[in-house]
């Protein structure tokens, strides 16, 4: 493609579309939020007065003046809309989870490759400040050989809300909402595991969809624990990492989501700065040494900067459909493991 501004059609202006995708797209110089598919034009125009509002997502994705389609609609619609957009010759970004099944994910990946179109999935938490910090610490060998990695994504939301994410629908529930984040981060650090054992549950009164998960990934002697719950009022560490040379513990969530909810935007003061430092524990002559570790700067906008660069300059896709398909395979395996109560082997393809 020639060096020009790319017109984006955003399908869906609910929580994901309004809070994440729209402001991040708008923050990238080479992207223009041109069309938004929504049944609430007043809501869109309050934020983006110049955007074209198309109530019908199929009309929005098929417009000739659209280069990139971003799908931020309910999970059950991801596959059909992504396929329609690819068939219309558009590059596509899909919010996580990619699809409902790994079979659907592979079909979309094949279609995009055959059509020579970019297909990517919004795994934005690769650019969390604390995750970037852990990635650096491990790469630098500060922890030695990692033997235990624990990732908690806990909240306290005891009341069940009447929305599709909490209803008994395919792709709903905490495992498909937060599971993709923690799985993708684990894959970025350690690759595909050898084994997976999962415990998924509905714990809240009146709950319909999974609101608790505890998953153990096995990598030889390394254990990776992924945990999420809607009934945790006390602060838990976000990350716990133990290695042969030391340990690292970090509390608190990356602040970018809260900043976006509050109207903050990339480029604003302190954007991406996480003030909650982690602590590195090492030993020297029998004494424990505690070192506070400043966080890297988080950067959700880097995802869309990468998308624009891939389309305009031919650089690599920031999150490939193949990578996102691996997440889908593990999500499905987690459901199977929980249903059977078994630790399951992870099939390695290719």
Going by C-beta distance under 8 Å and a sequence separation of 6 or more, which residues neighbour residue 241? Answer: 134, 137, 138, 143, 146, 148, 149, 150, 247, 248, 249
- pLDDT at residue 1 is higher than 50: no
- pLDDT at residue 2 is higher than 80: no
Claim to verify: residue 96 and residue 157 sit in the same structural domain:
no
- Domain of residue 228 covers 125-299+330-345
Task: State mean pLDDT over 70-85.
Answer: 97
Handedness of CA 331, 332, 336, 339 (dihedral sign): positive
Q: How far apart are CA 317 and CA 166, in angstroms?
A: 32
Mean pLDDT, the chain, whole residue set: 95
- pLDDT at residue 53 is higher than 90: yes
Task: State mean pLDDT over 67-88.
Answer: 98
3-state class of 153 per DSSP?
Answer: strand
Q: How far apart are CA 206 and CA 187, in angstroms?
A: 33
Span 241-272, pLDDT tens digits? 999 999 999 999 999 999 999 999 999 999 99
pLDDT band, very low/low/confident/very high, at 350 (cuts 50, 70, 90)? very low
Answer yes or no: is 309 within a domain.
Answer: no
Q: How far apart are CA 213 and CA 14, in angstroms?
A: 25
Instruction: Please say whether the beta carbons of 60 and 37 come within 8 A.
Output: yes
CATH number, domain with residue 32: 3.40.50.720
Tell me how many domains the chain contains: 2
Q: List residues bridging with 287 in a β-sheet.
A: 284
Phi-psi category of residue 207: left, alpha or beta, with phi > 0 → left and psi -120 to 50 → alpha: beta
Task: State mean pLDDT over 68-86.
Answer: 97
Task: State mean pLDDT over 222-247.
Answer: 97
Span 332-345, pLDDT tens digits? 999 999 999 999 99
Which helix or strand (DSSP H or E) is residue 81 part of?
Answer: helix 78-87
Q: How far apart are CA 281 and CA 238, in angstroms?
A: 16
Claim to verify: residue 291 and residue 148 sit in the same structural domain:
yes
- pLDDT at residue 16 is higher than 80: yes
| Tokens of residue 338, six digits | 């929980």
Task: State mean pLDDT over 300-314.
Answer: 98
Claim to verify: residue 103 and residue 67 sit in the same structural domain:
yes
Task: State mean pLDDT over 138-142.
Answer: 97
Answer yes or no: is 15 within a domain.
Answer: yes
Task: State mean pLDDT over 35-61.
Answer: 97
- What pLDDT is recorded for position 3? 56
Claim to verify: residue 52 and residue 179 sit in the same structural domain:
no
- What pLDDT is recorded for position 349? 65
Whether the bond into 97 is cis, omega within 30 of 0: yes
Task: State mean pLDDT over 85-98.
Answer: 98
| Tokens of residue 209, six digits | 């969809």
Answer yes or no: is 325 within a domain.
Answer: no
Task: State mean pLDDT over 142-147.
Answer: 97
Claim to verify: residue 158 and residue 293 sit in the same structural domain:
yes
Claim to verify: residue 136 and residue 51 sit in the same structural domain:
no
Q: How far apart are CA 170 and CA 176, in angstroms?
A: 9
Q: Quick one: which of 275, 324, 301 has its CA closest to 78?
A: 324
CA dihedral 265, 269, 274, 277 (to 10 degrees): 180
Q: State percent of the chain over pLDDT 70.
A: 99
| Tokens of residue 152, six digits | 């908690």
| Residue 321 CA: distances (Å) to CA of 99, 197, 241, 257, 318 | 11, 24, 28, 24, 10
- pLDDT at residue 124 is higher than 50: yes
Answer yes or no: is 308 within a domain.
Answer: no
Query: How many CB atoms lie under 10 A from the CB of residue 317?
Result: 19
Q: How far apart are CA 350 and CA 337, in angstroms?
A: 23
Answer yes or no: is 321 within a domain.
Answer: no
Answer yes or no: is 242 within a domain.
Answer: yes
CA dihedral 153, 156, 162, 166 (to 10 degrees): 30
């Amino acid at each position: 493609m020639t060096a020009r501004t790319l017109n984006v059609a955003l399908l869906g202006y609910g929580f994901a579309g309004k809070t994440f995708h729209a402001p991040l797209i708008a923050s990238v110089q080479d992207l223009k939020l041109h069309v938004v598919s929504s049944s609430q034009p007043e809501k869109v125009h309050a934020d983006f007065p110049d955007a074209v509002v198309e109530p019908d997502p199929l009309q929005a994705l098929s417009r000739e003046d659209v280069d990139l389609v971003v799908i931020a609609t309910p999970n059950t619609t991801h596959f059909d809309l992504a396929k329609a957009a690819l068939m219309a010759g558009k590059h596509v970004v899909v919010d996580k989870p990619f699809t409902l099944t790994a079979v659907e994910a592979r079909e979309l990946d094949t279609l995009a490759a055959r059509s020579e179109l970019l297909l990517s999935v919004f795994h934005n938490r690769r650019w969390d400040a604390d995750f970037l910090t852990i990635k650096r610490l491990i790469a630098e060998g500060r922890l030695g050989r990692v033997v235990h990695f624990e990732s908690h994504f806990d909240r306290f939301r005891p009341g069940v809300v009447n929305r599709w994410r909490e209803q008994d629908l395919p792709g709903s529930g905490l495992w498909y909402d937060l599971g993709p984040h923690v799985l993708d981060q684990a894959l970025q650090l350690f690759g595909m595991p050898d084994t997976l054992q999962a415990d998924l549950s509905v714990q809240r009164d009146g709950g319909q969809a999974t609101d608790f998960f505890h998953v153990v990934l096995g990598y030889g002697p390394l254990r990776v624990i992924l945990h999420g719950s809607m009934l945790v009022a006390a602060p838990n560490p976000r990350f716990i990492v133990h290695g042969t040379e030391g340990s690292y513990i970090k509390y608190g969530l990356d602040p970018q989501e809260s900043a976006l909810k509050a109207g903050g935007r990339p480029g604003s003061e302190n954007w991406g700065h996480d003030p909650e430092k982690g602590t590195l524990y090492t030993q020297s002559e029998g004494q424990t040494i505690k070192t506070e570790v400043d966080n890297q700067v988080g950067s959700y906008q880097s995802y869309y900067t990468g998308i624009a660069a891939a389309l305009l300059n031919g650089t690599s896709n920031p999150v490939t459909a193949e990578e996102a398909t691996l997440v889908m395979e593990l999500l499905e395996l987690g459901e199977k493991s929980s249903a059977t109560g078994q630790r399951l082997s992870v099939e390695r393809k290719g």
